[in-house]
């Protein structure tokens, strides 16, 4: 029904997360209507991001070079580490403008069902940073680790593991967990039991 090159492009778009067959077709036709220089710029950007982006040597965030922009920023507080599952989790935290520490990206969460154990994550690197301090900051000690893994079964298991391990290796370091509960604008009648229970557990005075 269509030239093979169009089918190949649509199939490539369909492999992207959240893109179904219809959206893939629309994206394909959109590309065909754009000027050639614009399409070449898009293709070049895709190739460049694959060639230039790697892991930060310090925190495992995405970086164009040995360090990410956050680790390279001397204005960040090196005594506080926020632990996240993946690089995409850093962006919403940064948008809040409430956190000025540094990060550590685990590369996932513990999930024995999926075959993901402690050795598959950057847990040992986290413990070394906490116990020894970041080498690039001449041994600055970490005083708090904020665990910001996702509120899922795997995320909770990972948080508990980090808390237990750091309790043994660095008992003087505060290990905290991001609060969870009712989102702003939500109605109680639509809240599930787990979310509502955590909201009660994390209640505070006003």
- What is the full per-residue pLDDT of the chain (206 aa) written as tens digits? 789 999 999 999 999 999 999 999 999 999 999 999 999 999 999 999 999 999 999 999 999 999 999 999 999 999 999 999 999 999 999 998 999 999 999 999 999 989 999 999 999 999 999 998 765 555 678 999 999 999 888 999 999 999 999 999 999 999 999 887 777 776 767 777 777 777 777 777 66
The pTM score is 0.84
Question: Are 120 and 28 within one domain?
Answer: no
Contact 160, 177 (CB under 8 A): no
Structural domain boundaries, residue 25:
4-52
Question: Are 23 and 115 within one domain?
Answer: no
Q: Count how many domains the chain has.
A: 2
CB burial class (10 A; 0-12, 13-18, 19+) of residue 74?
Answer: exposed
Q: What is the pLDDT of residue 37?
A: 97
Question: Are 102 and 166 within one domain?
Answer: yes
Q: State the CB neighbour count (10 A cutoff) for residue 72.
A: 14
Rg, C-alpha atoms of the chain: 21
Contacts of 131 (CB under 8 A, 6+ apart): 169, 170
Give the CATH number for residue 141. Answer: 3.40.1360.10
Question: Are 79 and 46 within one domain?
Answer: no
Examine residue 62 and state whether it is found in any structural domain, yes or no: no
């Amino acid at each position: 029904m269509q030239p093979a090159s169009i089918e190949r492009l649509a199939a490539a778009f369909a492999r992207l997360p959240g893109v179904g067959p219809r959206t893939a077709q629309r994206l394909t036709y959109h590309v065909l209507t754009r000027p050639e220089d614009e399409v070449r710029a898009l293709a070049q950007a895709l190739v460049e991001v694959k060639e230039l982006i790697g892991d930060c040597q310090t925190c495992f965030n995405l970086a164009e070079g040995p360090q990410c922009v956050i680790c390279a920023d001397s204005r960040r507080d090196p005594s506080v580490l926020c632990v996240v599952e993946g690089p995409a989790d850093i962006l919403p935290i940064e948008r809040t403008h409430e956190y000025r520490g540094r990060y550590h990206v685990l590369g996932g969460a513990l999930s024995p069902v999926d075959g993901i154990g402690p050795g598959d994550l950057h847990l040992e690197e986290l413990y070394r940073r906490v116990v020894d301090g970041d080498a690039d900051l001449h041994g600055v000690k970490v005083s708090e680790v904020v665990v910001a893994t996702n509120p899922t079964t795997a995320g909770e298991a990972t948080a508990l593991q980090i808390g237990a391990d750091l309790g043994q290796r660095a008992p003087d370091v505060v290990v905290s967990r991001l609060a969870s509960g009712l989102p702003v604008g939500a109605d109680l009648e639509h809240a599930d039991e787990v979310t509502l229970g955590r909201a009660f557990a994390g209640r505070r005075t006003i």
